Amino acid sequence: MQLQDILYSQGFGTRRVCAGLIQQGLVQVYESNEALAPVECRESATEFVAEGLRFRVQGVDWPYHEKAYVMLNKPTATECSQKPSTHPSIYTLLPSPLRLRPQKGAVQGVQAVGRLDQDTTGLLLLTDDGKFIHRMSSPRHHVPKVYEVTVKHPLTEVQVQKLLAGVVLDDDPKPVRAAACEAVDTHHLRLTLTEGKYHQVKRMVAAVSNRVEGLHRSQIGGLRLPDDLPPGQWRWLSAADLASISA
């Protein structure tokens, strides 16, 4: 694949913009996985094997990914929307290439896999792989999600058992059950859900006469939010990470 096409596919602008970056000497390529330093390339039509390629654009290293899969530690007071109403969009936390990766549809770049409320923090996945988004969002797949819930009133064993047995929400007569539920301490509930109804955690906790004061998603499938990923920061998902999500 030509270098300008590689940069275009990774979200660095139109092919003309990418060719300009290369011709201006702003792009360097690592010639092998073992290479400690990249080599400048000024010919936009130079061909490389895209898979596994690492390159540097304007001083920033980038790996080639046919599809982008990233995790974000969502901070509070941010919205999972391209057009936020009150708070900043989570997409402003991502670098421009991730937001501009070309898509066949009208929307460019990576998209959030599901949404977290503006005051909910924690693990959020983003990708430009539509099939992955559909698979993760489908209720048929029942991917478990773990939430750390801070509640207003002291937890009781009765509340925990009700959440495990199932509670009825106001928009559905069918009881909604937690896949797992434990009181970590008096005001900390760890709740595992396999479906994603609107404001589900808050409504389930309200149904057992308590109230959510803080909500943090710590895990999706077998993928835990790393302790060393600060709020507002992102990182690429590895093949092992992707495998652990559906494990």
- Residues with catalytic function: 117
Query: 241: number of CA atoms within 13 Å, CB side?
Result: 15
Query: 227: number of CA atoms within 13 Å, CB side?
Result: 0
Query: 175: number of CA atoms within 13 Å, CB side?
Result: 10
CA 90 – CA 84 distance, rounded (Å): 9
Nearest to 121 by CA among 209, 229, 246: 229
User: How many other C-beta atoms can be found within 10 angstroms of the C-beta atom of residue 228?
Assistant: 8
Is residue 204 within 8 Å of 197, Cβ to Cβ? no
